[in-house]
Amino acid sequence: MNPETLAYAVTLPLLGVFLGLVYKGIDRRVSARMTSRIGPPIRQPFWDVGKLLVKETVQPENAVRWIYNAMPVFAFASSLTLLLYIPFGVLKAPLEGYGDLIIILYLLTLQGLSMAIGGFASGSPFSSVGAQREMVLMMSYEMPLATVIIGFAMIYRSFSLGVISSAPVWWSVGPIAALGVALLFVALLVVTPAELAKLPFDIAEAETEIAEGMLAEYSGRNLALFYLSDAVRGFAMAALEVVLFFPFTLSSITGLNLTGWAYYTVEILWFLFKVLVIYLAAVTLVRTSFGRFRIEQASKIFWVYVNIVALTGLLLVWMGV
């Protein structure tokens, strides 16, 4: 790895943390406006993290302490590593070509699994119930997510995001397969709020039922790490959807003839705009419009309806490729 790539690999996770918190602030602000409230300022997530970092980290008496303290670190590390596999607009991912989509699926699962294990290790009945719900949800939404990845692997004969983003999928398939890709996109949009534990799929953290569930016993630095992990994963999930379905550059759409730093600046801003649109559509709009589902309702939605949509899309892709 050359020095430029190494510097990029170090800078990108830090930028991902910043952007994750900014997008989280925008999400809260827009959601408030949609419900006729003023809402917190966009910088509020930065204040929240800062306050948590200076607070005392309380450890439950009955907790398995080394697991309890390790899981926030695992969750945060997995979210940061996730960013190293996703192209940042026209900039290649630092770890491009090392498994990409397979590892991304693993890292997305690892973050939710870390929260569930931390909940079990805390020794709290509320956390244990939340962890059980999280495991049920993971078994429900991981299949359609894996189906989307299989669909792209069939189209490009590769799991590399670099290969996938180099030729937009809509230009690489015929009409039948394009319809299948559209169904895969719909399935992934439904999976997104569940993957990020947002309404209406935040059943594992239902405050009115189980007092924050898995995170009920977490505080201080440990809770801050989970908070940062959630922010980074939200940005990474939206960025992944942009790379898979909408990797179009602004130059290719408008015919702009930019070079050098102007080219990279414009394309990165265009990429961040697309990520914001996906984030608002898949997370903000959904969580503001729907109430929380029950666990059996959420499982049925994914095992039956979303799986049918995803598998139908996969079948159309197979027929059209």
Question: How do residues 250-305 score in pLDDT, each as one tens digit?
Answer: 887 887 777 778 888 888 999 999 999 999 999 999 989 888 888 888 889 999 99
Question: What is the per-residue DSSP string for 190-222?
Answer: HHHHHHTT-TTS-GGG-HHHHTTGGGTT--HHH
Please determine, for residue 100, whether its predicted confidence score (pLDDT) is greater than 80.
no
Structural domains counted in the chain = 1
Q: Tell the residue number behind the tokens 């827009």, with chain if given.
A: 30
Please determine, for residue 231, whether its predicted confidence score (pLDDT) is greater than 90.
yes
Mean pLDDT estimate for the chain: 87
Query: Quick check: pTM over 0.95?
Result: no
Give the list of residues 6+ apart from residue 10 with CB closer than 8 angstroms, or none: none
Q: pLDDT tens digits for 145-192?
A: 999 999 998 998 888 888 888 778 888 888 999 999 999 999 999 999
Cis, peptide link before residue 13, omega less than 30° from 0: no
Domain that holds residue 195: 3-320
Name the pLDDT band for 3 (thresholds 50, 70, 90). Answer: low
The per-residue pLDDT for 99 is: 64
Of residues 13 and 29, the one with the higher pLDDT is 29
Give the list of residues 6+ apart from residue 64 with CB closer than 8 angstroms, or none: 121, 123
Query: Which whole number is the average pLDDT over 78-104?
Result: 84
Query: Which whole number is the average pLDDT over 105-120?
Result: 87
Q: Tell the residue number behind the tokens 């079990």, with chain if given.
A: 120
DSSP 280: I
